[in-house]
């Protein structure tokens, strides 16, 4: 089974919490990240009915649009509506998570979906709420794996420019290296200087997904030690 942390990571790749408005409070409200999840219940708002339905039907996670908490909690009393919901969720190990204005604002999120339903064309941002930092990611790869590495980075979310994805630039060159004792080179022999036809691939990635892009790039790359650079933009 997948963990609640893995589910949350997937949601926040689509709708990072950094997109949320200042007054909002999305994210994990109740529970822990290690809980194993097999059933998820979706609800607009966390209500007693939603919590009871989740518990009675074996759901381990409740995902809402509206956050459960907007203000600090002074007490958790089972004789009061909010306290009873918290008490029941904790007692039954129910994970409660929300994605609110971050999901509204996200590319392909609630606002975009509503615009599509209404048939709106040529939509644009009315108010900029967040500007995410960008990194340029550069990697050097043998020509045999150029497309595999490029596609892996694009599939991980790199290369978005406006309404275009998988944007990148390539330049051919020569890479040199000398494998030392204990290495297992993909190309070449130990203690012998090698010169290989390589391609420099560069693309851009949001700061929040740069680690994911680099991990995908390394996984697709054939070299034991991958040469890459990250430049803040």
pLDDT digits (tens, 9 = 90+) for 56-67: 999 999 999 999
For residue 18, CA distances in Å to 3, 35, 86, 214 come to 22, 24, 26, 21
What's the rounded Cα separation, in Å, for the pair 27 and 97? Answer: 5
Q: Is the pLDDT of residue 188 over 90?
A: no
Show the DSSP H helices in 66-145 as ranges.
Answer: 81-91, 101-105, 110-118
CA distance 170 to 172: 7
CA–CA distance, 195 with 51 (Å, rounded to integer):
63
pTM of the model: 0.70
CATH 1.20.1250.20 fits 2-105, yes or no: no
pLDDT of residue 131: 80
Q: What is the mean pLDDT of residues 189-197?
A: 92
Alpha-carbon span 229 to 82, nearest angstrom: 50
Sheet containing strand 169-177, strands side by side: 169-177, 194-206, 134-142, 228-232
Flag whether pLDDT at 125 surpasses 90. Answer: no
DSSP state of 207: G
- Summary mean pLDDT of the chain: 94
Check residue 138 and report its DSSP letter: E
Ordered by start, the domain boundaries in the chain are 2-105, 134-232
Q: How confident is the model at residue 208 (pLDDT cuts 50, 70, 90)?
A: confident
Return the pLDDT at 163: 79
Mean pLDDT calculated for residue range 88-107 = 96
Q: Which two tokens stand for residue 132?
A: 């995410």
At 129 the pLDDT is 80
Identical topology for domains 2-105 and 134-232: no
Fold (topology level) of 134-232: Alpha-Beta Plaits (3.30.70)
φ, ψ at 143 (rounded to 5°): -60, -30
The predicted model gives 203-224 an average pLDDT of 95
CA separation for the pair 59, 164 (Å, rounded): 38
Q: Return the pLDDT at 132.
A: 80
Whole-angstrom distance, CA of residue 221 vs CA of residue 215:
10
Q: Which pLDDT score is estimated for 158?
A: 96
Q: Are 59 and 40 in contact (CB under 8 A)?
A: yes
Residue 167 is predicted with a pLDDT of 97
């Amino acid at each position: 089974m997948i963990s609640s942390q893995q589910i949350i990571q997937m949601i926040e790749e689509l709708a990072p919490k950094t997109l949320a408005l200042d007054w909002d409070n999305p994210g994990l409200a109740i529970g822990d990240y290690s809980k194993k999840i097999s059933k998820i219940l979706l609800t607009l708002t966390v209500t007693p009915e939603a919590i009871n339905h989740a518990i009675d039907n074996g759901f381990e996670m409740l995902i809402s649009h509206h956050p459960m908490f907007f203000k600090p909690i002074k007490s958790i009393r089972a004789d009061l509506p909010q306290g009873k919901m918290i008490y029941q969720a904790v007692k039954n190990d129910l994970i409660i998570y929300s994605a609110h204005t971050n999901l509204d604002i996200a590319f392909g999120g609630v606002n975009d979906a509503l615009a599509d339903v209404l048939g709106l064309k040529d939509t644009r941002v009315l108010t900029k709420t967040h500007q995410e930092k960008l990194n340029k990611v550069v990697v050097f790869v043998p020509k045999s794996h150029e497309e595999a590495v490029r596609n892996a980075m694009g599939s991980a979310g790199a290369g978005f420019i406006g309404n275009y994805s998988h944007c990148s630039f390539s330049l051919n060159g020569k890479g040199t290296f000398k494998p030392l004792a204990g290495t297992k080179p993909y190309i070449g022999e130990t203690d012998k200087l090698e010169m290989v036809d390589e391609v420099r691939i560069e693309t851009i990635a949001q700061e929040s997904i740069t680690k994911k892009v680099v991990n995908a790039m390394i996984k697709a790359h054939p070299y034991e030690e991958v040469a890459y650079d990250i430049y803040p933009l």
